Amino acid sequence: MVENKTDDIRDLVIVGGGTAGWLMASRLAAKYQTSPDCPVKITLVESPSVKPVGVGEGTWPGMRSTLKAIGLSESDFMRECDASFKQGSKFNGWRSGNMDDSYYHPFTLPLGYDDLDMMHFVQHSPRQGSFAKAVCPQVEICQQGLAPKQITTPEYAGVVNYGYHLNAGKFAALLKRHCLEKFNVSHVLDEVVKVNGAANGDIASVSTENHGDICGDFFIDCTGFACLLLGGFYQVPFIGQRHILFADTALAVQIPYPAADSPIACVTQSTATAAGWIWDIGLTNRRGIGHVYSSDYCSEVQAEQELAAYLGHDFKGVEIKKIPIKPGYRSHAWEKNCLAVGLSAGFLEPLEASAIVQVELAADWLCLQLPANRSGMDVIAKRYNQEFSYRWQRIIDFLKLHYVLSQRRDTDFWLDNRHRDSIPDSLQELLSLWSCHYPTKNEFPRHHEIFSLYSYQYILAGMDYRSEAAYALTALEEDVARQHIMKGEQLKAQYLQHLPGHRELLEKIARYGFKGV
Mean pLDDT lowest among 2-11, 305-314, 413-422, 497-506: 2-11
User: Residue 108 annotated as binding?
Assistant: no
Please list, in sequence order, all residues whose beta carbon lies within 8 angstroms of the beta carbon of residue 457, skipping any fewer than 6 positions away. 110, 118, 119, 131, 438, 439
User: The pTM is what?
Assistant: 0.95
What is the residue-wise DSSP string for 213-249? EEE-SEEEE--GGG-IIIIIIS-PPEEE-TTTS---E
User: Residue 18 annotated as binding?
Assistant: yes
H or E element in which residue 155 lies: none
**CATH code that applies to domain 11-81+164-239+329-382:** 3.50.50.60
Per-residue confidence band for 36, with pLDDT thresholds at 50, 70 and 90: low
Task: Give the pLDDT confidence of 280-309 residue by residue, as tens digits.
Answer: 999 999 999 999 999 999 999 999 999 999
Of 38 and 223, the one with more pLDDT = 223
User: Residue 274 annotated as binding?
Assistant: no
User: Residue 86 annotated as binding?
Assistant: yes
17 alpha-carbon distance from chain centroid: 18
86 given a catalytic annotation: yes
- The rounded mean pLDDT for the chain is 94
Q: Is a pLDDT exceeding 70 seen at residue 517?
A: no
> How many CB atoms are located within 10 Å of the residue 218 CB?
24
In the chain, pLDDT over 70 holds for what percent of residues?
96
Residues 239, 172, 355: CA angle, nearest 5 degrees = 30
In the chain, pLDDT over 90 holds for what percent of residues?
84
d(CA 173, CA 22): 8
Q: Is a pLDDT exceeding 90 seen at residue 22?
A: yes
Please list, in sequence order, all residues whose beta carbon lies within 8 angstroms of the beta carbon of residue 249, skipping any fewer than 6 positions away. 292, 293, 294, 295, 300, 303, 322, 323, 324, 325
Of 5, 41, 51, 86, which residue is the catalytic one? 86
For the segment 43-48, the average pLDDT, to the nearest whole number, is 97
Which burial class, exposed, middle or buried, applies to 124 when counting CB atoms under 10 A from its CB (0-12, 13-18, 19+)?
A: middle
pLDDT for position 446: 84
User: Residue 192 annotated as binding?
Assistant: yes
β partners of residue 194: 207
Task: Give the pLDDT confidence of 95-112 residue by residue, as tens digits.
Answer: 999 988 999 999 999 999
Per-residue confidence band for 409, with pLDDT thresholds at 50, 70 and 90: very high
User: Residue 509 annotated as binding?
Assistant: no
For the segment 349-367, the average pLDDT, to the nearest whole number, is 96
Q: Are 47 and 55 in contact (CB under 8 A)?
A: no
Task: Give the pLDDT confidence of 386-403 residue by residue, as tens digits.
Answer: 999 999 999 999 999 999
Per-residue confidence band for 471, with pLDDT thresholds at 50, 70 and 90: confident
128 alpha-carbon distance from chain centroid: 31
Alpha carbon distances (Å) from 462 to 104, 133, 226, 270:
7, 10, 38, 13
